[in-house]
Amino acid sequence: QLSRMVPDNLVLDELSFDNQKKEFSLKGIIYSSLDESQKQLSDFIKGLRQCQFVTHVRLATTLQVQEQNQNGARFEILCNLSP
């Protein structure tokens, strides 16, 4: 289900799970202009919030970067596993 929500210009490069907190961390980069990356990241978070298996989805960090000669935003999204 997660793979269908990821836009083409968004790369998830780390997925981790804290079993004690029942919390997922999704880290990655979205390649796009500042305005477009914020909109697409917001849309991705909205999609995650509609998933049945996670709750309390939130953007933990975001940082504008230039990698591989492209503008982008590095991000970390946190969410909890549904009971």
pLDDT digits (tens, 9 = 90+) for 29-43: 999 888 888 899 999
Q: Is the model's pLDDT at 82 over the cut of 80?
A: yes
Mean pLDDT score across all residues of the chain: 90
What pLDDT is stored for residue 1 in this prediction?
A: 64
pTM of the shown model:
0.88
- Catalogue the long-range contacts made by 17-26 (C-beta closer than 8 Å, 24 or more residues apart): 17/81, 21/80, 22/80, 22/81, 23/78, 23/79, 23/80, 23/81, 24/54, 24/78, 24/79, 24/80, 24/81, 25/60, 25/76, 25/77, 25/78, 26/76, 26/77, 26/78, 26/79
What pLDDT is stored for residue 67 in this prediction?
A: 81
pLDDT digits (tens, 9 = 90+) for 55-64: 999 999 999 9
